[in-house]
Amino acid sequence: MIKTPTNMENRHCTLPDHSVTTAHFAPRGDSRELVPSSSPTQEELKECLLFSPDDGRIWLNDQRMLLLHTSSFGALRREIIERLGSQQARGLFTRTGYLSGARDARLIRERWPQASAAAIFAAGTHLHTLEGMTRVEPLHFKFDADCGFYEGEFLWHHSCEADEHLTGYGVGQDPACWTELGYAIGFVSGLFGRMVIFREVECRGMGHANCRVVGKTAEQWGDVESDLAYLNASGGPAATPAPAVSSFTPASAPPQGPEPIGASAAFNAANLSLQRVAPTPATVLISGESGVGKELFARQLHRMSPRHHAPFVALNCAAIPDNLIEAELFGVDRGAYTGASHSRPGRFERAQGGTLFLDEITCLSLAGQSKLLRALQEREIERVGGVQAIKVDVRVVAACNVDLQQAVARGDFREDLFYRLNVYPIALPPLRERRDDIPLLINAFLQRLCRDYQRTPAGLTMRALKTLLRYDFPGNIRELQNLVERGLIASEEGQPIDLVHLFRNERLPEQGYSIDREGGLTVNPLSEPPAATLEPLLDTLTQHDQSFSIDGLEARLINEAMQQSAGNLAAAARAVGLSRAQFAYRLKKHHQQG
């Protein structure tokens, strides 16, 4: 029911589901047919890497990555070998690598659904190299998915795992590149749709100059029991190489309506709290910024509770005028006030046996607060104008922005009610604190909206995705959902959603970092190039300018502005305080003169 971290099926992003099936996947290929320029090229794969140092995240497309010291990887590896023995350790690292490989396979298929099969297979070698594990040199590979045939041979140069193994244990009898082998198996099997087993027939850890790996399908090898054993966490041979899937799914009500989506640690923590409190009758207070999905969580709580067969009733206290809220909550008895011509039950009674969700609880008047407190304590209510107490069996879930305690301090909210509500508080984090969930959420919204709008966009452009990954989302999940919807509407059918489709006047993150041609980090303007400022322009001009003429100065100014804004006319115009049209006119004039 709740989408949890776990399963790589849940982790994909940026494209609706139908585009990531094997439908586009050409079933035959040969490394000899490879053209270096065919997509995805090494350059295109490098563009998937985004460093977000101020935010503390590194992304490979939509996957969060980690820059880990090889020496600490080596230390971890040695400690695991010593504690579990090398067979168990080998299995553990093989499965870890398998997950990485399978995720990268998914990335390639989603991002380049139209790429040739051979290019997609080759991309795995580039990614494995880019991620710093080893430099992969394909010797040859050939496959035919229809006949279930795969054969490939690769050289691994300066494998990081072999180096760490050599540091710890010296030259040994057995191949040492377990993680990397798992990666190859995961990547190729993930693409091929059936088990392809790789074996290291030579390894630097055994004294060879390079590692040499050979891959074939399980059927072609024949005897793969021991290979499969490393892929199966439970120890026995694995029928299918399913990575461990854990699930918080409670076996209660069937899902109805949208559910909270997430995989981040912050999301899981909130989710665990929800599961713990759901079976109890306790009152729950959900706090969080506007748009974080409080009502969705409240509905989820209700679904997971023993009350799920009874009604879930929601009331936003901010949406009802002060003088009507008591009648709305507790109902009205005939003759209570002028105009109350007939009796009607309030939300409390309508939620009988179920859950009452009170959003924006801080907006409840002091009189309403007293009545609510009584309802919680005595489990009975009185209708407005009524004389008799009505028993209610209702679980109250209240929600507030982060300001409830301030309201208590100001005397606007009853302290006793606050404590009565605050029995079990659940704080929902803002989206900017659970960025790892952004790809999941984008994907879920895209899928739903594409279905509703009967659309099939080609996902998001890389810079649109990168900007979303770094945007602050003051309006949280609701804002993300609105942006995706806006992007879908504004983009052309069959075309990817780009920045201009998503954002209007929002404050965009300034820049990201990616790797440049030399492999260093380079500033990577995410939206349009930042406007050059006038001062550095003047500095540059005076540095190598001896003769001043107004015309010459203007020409140089125009040129410098163009260069500094990377040819973006609008940005260059802004830098020198001209309109785009004025700037274009002068540019043309000087070009004609020059």
**Which range touches Zn ion (CB under 5 A), out of 206-214, 243-251, 268-276, 288-296?**
206-214
Stretch touching Zn ion by CB under 5 A, among 211-219, 281-289, 528-536, 585-593: 211-219
The SS3 of residue 369 is helix
Instruction: Pick out residues in 141-170 that bind Zn ion (CB under 5 A).
Output: 159, 162
User: Using the 8-state DSSP alphabet, how is residue 294 labeled?
Assistant: H
CB atoms within 10 A of CB 330: 25
- Whose Cβ is closer to Zn ion: residue 43's or residue 174's? 174
Strand partners, 150: 143
Q: Taking CB under 5 A as the rule, which mask of x and - marks residues 228-247 in contact with Zn ion? A: --------------------
Q: How far does the chain reach from its first CA to its final CA, in angstroms?
A: 68
Minimum CB distance to Zn ion, residue 210 (Å): 8
| Cis upstream peptide for 40 (omega within 30°) | yes
Tell me the closest approach of the beta carbon of residue 63 to Zn ion, in angstroms.
25
Q: Which is nearer to Zn ion, 158 or 334 (CB)?
A: 158
Q: Which is nearer to Zn ion, 191 or 211 (CB)?
A: 211
Backbone angles phi, psi at 304, to 5 degrees: -85, -5
Taking the least distance from each CB to Zn ion, the nearer of 91 and 288 is 91
**Whole-angstrom distance, CA of residue 162 vs CA of residue 176:** 6
Give the range of 205-213, 364-372, 384-392, 458-466 binding Zn ion by CB under 5 A. Answer: 205-213
- Shortest gap between Cβ of 200 and Zn ion (angstroms)? 5
According to DSSP, residue 504 is labeled S
Contacts of 270-278 with C-beta under 8 Å, sequence gap 24+, read 270/297, 270/426, 270/427, 270/428, 270/429, 271/2, 271/4, 272/248, 273/424, 273/426, 274/300, 274/301, 274/304, 274/426, 275/248, 275/250, 275/304, 277/301, 277/424, 277/426, 278/250, 278/252, 278/304, 278/305
Residue 211 as a binder of Zn ion (CB under 5 A): the answer is yes
Least CB distance from residue 187 to Zn ion, whole Å? 17
Torsion on CA atoms 151, 155, 156, 158, rounded to nearest 10: 170
In DSSP terms, which residues pair with 426 in a beta bridge?
286
Please report, for residues 168, 215, 253, the alpha-carbon distance to residue 209 in angstroms, rounded to integers and kept in the order given.
Answer: 18, 20, 59
Q: How many residues bind Zn ion (CB under 5 A)?
A: 5
| Distance in Å, CB of 472 to Zn ion, minimum | 44
Judged by CB, which is closer to Zn ion: 231, or 332?
A: 231
Helix, strand or coil, per DSSP, at residue 577: coil
Nearest distance from residue 203's CB to Zn ion, in Å?
A: 3
- The β-bridge partners of 485 are none
Give whichever of 162 and 557 is closer to Zn ion, judged by the CB atom.
Answer: 162
Letters for 177-196 (x = contact with Zn ion by CB under 5 A, - = none) are x-------------------
Q: Which stretch binds Zn ion (CB under 5 A): 96-104, 207-215, 331-339, 431-439?
A: 207-215
Q: Which is nearer to Zn ion, 119 or 211 (CB)?
A: 211
Q: Smallest gap, in angstroms, from Cβ of residue 176 to Zn ion?
A: 5
- Cα diameter, the chain: 97
Taking the complex as a whole, the smallest distance from the CB of residue 179 to Zn ion amounts, in Å, to 10
Q: Which is nearer to Zn ion, 159 or 443 (CB)?
A: 159
CB nearer Zn ion, residue 161 or residue 349: 161
Cβ at position 13, least distance to Zn ion in Å: 32
CB of residue 160 to Zn ion, shortest distance in Å: 10
CA–CA distance, 527 with 569 (Å, rounded to integer): 14
State which of positions 254-313 bind Zn ion (CB under 5 A): none
Is the distance from CB of 363 to CB of 403 less than 8 angstroms? no
Identity of the residue, 175 or 293, whose beta carbon is nearer to Zn ion in the bound complex? 175
Residues near Zn ion, by CB under 5 A = 159, 162, 177, 203, 211
